[in-house]
A and B are shown apart, each in its own frame.
Chain A
Amino acid sequence: MKEELFISGRDIPNIDPFLNIWHWQIPIYLFLGGLAAGILFFAGLFYVLGKEKEMATTVKWAPFVVPIALVLGLIALFLDLKHQLFFWRLYTTIRMESPMSWGAWTLMVITPLSMIWVATYLKEAFPKWSWRFNFIEQIIDFFTKKRKEMAWVMMLLAIILGVYTGILLSAFNARPLWNTSILGPLFLVSGLSTGLAAIIWMSKSKIERRILSRIDILLIAVELFLIVHLFMGFLAASTVQIEAAELFLGGQFTVTFWVFVVILGLIFPAVLEILELNGYHIPVWIPAFLILFGGLVFRFVMVEAGQITRYLY
């Protein structure tokens, strides 16, 4: 039987006919947040493992990108708000049930932490650097001695930040495409992988790149595995989720997702990295760029497609 649904006289901006309340700001932030989480996690990890010297780019230099990425991400988030003068309301309360509240507080801690981490390495990067004031010098000295503790906190917060970028979406049960618990791990792994790609791009040490490439290949494999599970889960679920999956299996997002995210953003760079490990010379920026670009497209597609999916009643 043919069934049609009309909503008469309703044409609310950004709600009808399809929800489109989140624009470019959210995927940009999800990407930068994931990237920052990835870099900070590996910086903390290799510091704790005592590889500060061998993995200098990972521990010391790549984190210089993080405060920039996080601040740009925060600006994007701020631009997304429609009632901007009230943004401080986020920090007058902690709401355990709201992922966005968690995320806001995590960012509040991890952004300054990443800045302090970078500050402790500033003198190594720029030998002529001076903090000018004695008390700043003392504060930085204090944190330089506490790097190990900071590394542990950084790893923990990086995981929360990475998972949060996915949970932010998966908490919305009204959007069937997002409403799957696998989105948290998927965004975390994707964020770690983009973080690694950025570090590999920056690193000049062949040994460091080899170690990082191996981890990256593993992460890409896990990510592909999670993507397969994502769709298996959808296809075995209720009508609304089957319809959500169909957007990617023949629907309007099929080409963007499978070509730019899965093939060019995951499989192809993984193959290039494997070839590189086996002695072929491949310019390092190619797989790194593809992974970063794939990660960005992935977030745009998920945010855009998720808003189209809905309950039909």
Chain B
Amino acid sequence: MRYAMAIDTKKCVGCSDCVVACQTENNVPHGYCRDWIVENVNGSYPNVEIELRSERCNHCENAPCVRCCPTGASHIVEGGIVMVTHNECIGCGACIQSCPYDARYSHPEGYVDKCTFCQHRLQKGQNPACVDVCPTKCLYFGDIEDPYSDVSLALKNRTWKVLAPEAGTKPQLYFLT
């Protein structure tokens, strides 16, 4: 099993509902966020193209944050989700330095925090909070090894890209273009 997410950049309107849903669901401290919206503007008016992306941790297959963690606090659990054990994290910042997506931050309490794909919801058979709340239904989540999962079906007939593939991290967020 390999959890992955597809984000339809053509359907996303950049409303930030996913950001707020995540902050509420995961008690993210004020001023921090585990997911965020990127607006990529190409050209200038009237010949302008905007790509909207809801971004978060890529839960990389070759995760540099897990590799460089000196205590093993950053680890990969079933389904390929990259997790941080709070009471093993010493807050050295190595994983924050190693992430090409800047998806991690230093929680005010000291440990490093990031997106968990809402693992506590997955265990109950639910989708991540951001996926459930999206008003345009532009987020697809599921097991990418299952050809009939939401994410596999979303990727099937569309072109897609991943972010910074040259970083060699094998990211698991797929952006439908």
Please report A residues at the B interface, Cβ cutoff 8 Å. 1-16, 19, 21-22, 80-84, 86-87, 89-90, 92-93, 95, 97-101, 104, 171-175, 238, 307, 310-311, 313
Contacts and interface: CB of A to CB of B under 8 A. Distances in A.
Assign chain B's interface to a size class: 35 or more
Nearest to A91: B71
Given A1-B42, A3-B41, A98 B100 contact: no
Given A9-B36, A92-B71, A174-B97, A80 B92 contact: yes
Nearest to A4: B41
A86 B93 contact: no
B122 interface: no
A194 to B, nearest CB: 24
Interface stretch (B105-113, B131-139, B140-148, B150-158): B105-113
A9 B91 contact: no
A12 B93 contact: no
Contacts of B89: 83, 86, 89
B33 A10 contact: yes
Nearest to B163: A313
Given A9-B37, A21-B106, A174-B167, A15 B96 contact: yes
B67 to A, nearest CB: 5
B69 interface: yes
Nearest to B34: A12
B33 A90 contact: no
B43 to A, nearest CB: 5
Given A81-B91, A82-B90, A86-B110, 16 more contacts: A3-B41, A5-B38, A6-B41, A8-B36, A9-B19, A12-B32, A21-B106, A80-B92, A82-B93, A83-B109, A89-B88, A90-B90, A95-B70, A171-B98, A173-B98, A313-B164
A28 to B, nearest CB: 15
18 contacts: A1-B42, A12-B31, A19-B96, A22-B93, A81-B91, A82-B110, A83-B89, A83-B111, A86-B91, A92-B71, A95-B69, A98-B68, A98-B70, A98-B94, A100-B68, A173-B100, A173-B168, A238-B166
A186 B146 CA distance: 48
B94 A100 contact: yes
A4 B38 CA distance: 10
A313 B165 CA distance: 9
B80 interface: no
A80 B93 contact: yes
A14 B106 contact: yes
A175 B93 CA distance: 13
Nearest to A26: B93
A97 B110 contact: no
Contact of A86 (B33, B87, B94, B102): B87
B87 to A, nearest CB: 6
Contacts of B164: 311, 313
Contacts of B79: none
A167 B19 CA distance: 36
B27 interface: no
A12 B106 CA distance: 9
